[in-house]
Amino acid sequence: MQPMRNPLPDLPPRDLAACRALLAQGSKSFALASHLLPGRLRAAATGLYAFCRIADDLIDMTGKAEAGVEIVRLRVDQIYRGEPFPHPADRAFAAVVEACAVPRAAVDALVEGFAWDAQERLYETLDDVMDYAARVAGSVGVMMSAIMGRPQDTALARAADLGMAMQLTNIVRDIGEDARNGRLYLPRLWLREAGLDPVAWLADPQDHPAIRQAAHRLLEEADRLYRRAELGIALLPPDCRPAIRAARLIYAEIGRAILRNPRADILQRTVVPRGRKWRLLLSALVRLPDEGLTHARQALPAPHEAVRFMMPGLPELSLPAVSASAGLAWWDLSGRLLTILPILEKLERAERDIALGGNPMRQPQT
């Protein structure tokens, strides 16, 4: 197999260094997570995440979401014209867009999701929550799929499923933290149907059966999306599959840990123990070579209704050509483990910092 070209061959080293510094200062989890990807993709992922950070900051700092969104969209316009704003993150993301054919609809969706947060939008129904998850996380899945070299709608749809599933998991995991910041992402209709007034609850957030029931229902939706996303992992380049499968398994395990412990305070952040994370990571690395392809040959579901507007060529749902090697070669496993395990330890420390009141990045967590 021919090695794949680095998606950012012409990115100036100074711009890349500036993007890395930006993420290291305010987005430690994203900076560390980028190391789970193959080395050839890290620069592209760094450029994407750095622009996301800048966009989110711009919308926040203007004080008015509408004004901030207009500024960001102007900068996105310039990027897609090949004339990026003179900022390292804009230039880096422009290189990503050009090299990887990142769909403009996904970028616009992400910006809209930032705006919804700035507007403190309310989410009444499951469809409303799905629309939000599609924007702040499904969009990132679409962009990352393009960066990995799989821009077909088939792969994009499954990447969006994974991003949305992870966001739903985040919503449940962070119920308490969000509530303390005056935010509620569970469908409010579900709470009212269970006899709980969402506004009154936000004024004094406490563990409550209605909150727990809604959280469990949302995790069921996430699980459906995780199963759909699994069908797309075999469509990715072989060296990308272990990291994406590991992320899928570990995030799904957060939901399972919540469901397994019905007596735990639903407002406390659930963390997957280190030993369990490592076992899931190992299972992702040693997946049998043909297992992913067997799944991929199943009937592929259409894109979720919430993300269809990001799919540039619907209805294209044929299976793209994929390599028969679904994972790393066996002799590469030990080297990949030695690289990833220290990163997992750093990610766990970052999670503990967040739980103790740190300053996590407020944007899609993928």
319: its two tokens: 């299976």
pLDDT tens digit at each of 366 positions of the chain: 344 445 554 678 899 999 988 887 765 555 555 667 888 888 899 999 999 989 988 887 766 777 888 899 999 999 999 999 999 999 999 999 999 989 999 999 999 998 898 888 999 999 999 999 999 999 999 999 999 987 677 788 999 999 999 999 999 999 999 999 999 999 999 999 999 999 999 999 999 999 999 999 999 999 999 999 988 888 888 888 888 888 888 889 888 888 888 777 788 777 766 677 667 666 666 654 444 444 544 556 788 989 988 876 644 444 444 443 434 443 344 455 555 555 555 555 555 554 554 443 444 443
Q: What is the pLDDT of residue 4?
A: 47
Q: What is the pLDDT of residue 11?
A: 76
d(Cα 254, Cα 275) in Å, to the nearest integer? 14
Cα separations in angstroms, 194 against 188, 191, 197 = 10, 5, 9
311: its two tokens: 């799919």
- Delineate the domains of the chain, giving CATH numbers in brackets: 10-100 (no CATH), 104-355 (1.10.600.10)
Q: What is the pLDDT of residue 64?
A: 75
- 10 Å Cβ neighbour count for 136? 25
Q: What is the pLDDT of residue 366?
A: 38
Cα separations in angstroms, 342 against 159, 237, 276, 338, 348 = 26, 24, 15, 7, 10
d(Cα 178, Cα 218) in Å, to the nearest integer? 16
Q: What is the pLDDT of residue 149?
A: 86
pLDDT digits (tens, 9 = 90+) for 192-201: 999 999 999 9
Cα separations in angstroms, 152 against 134, 268, 363 = 18, 39, 26
Q: What is the pLDDT of residue 231?
A: 84
d(Cα 158, Cα 21) in Å, to the nearest integer? 31
d(Cα 302, Cα 304) in Å, to the nearest integer? 6
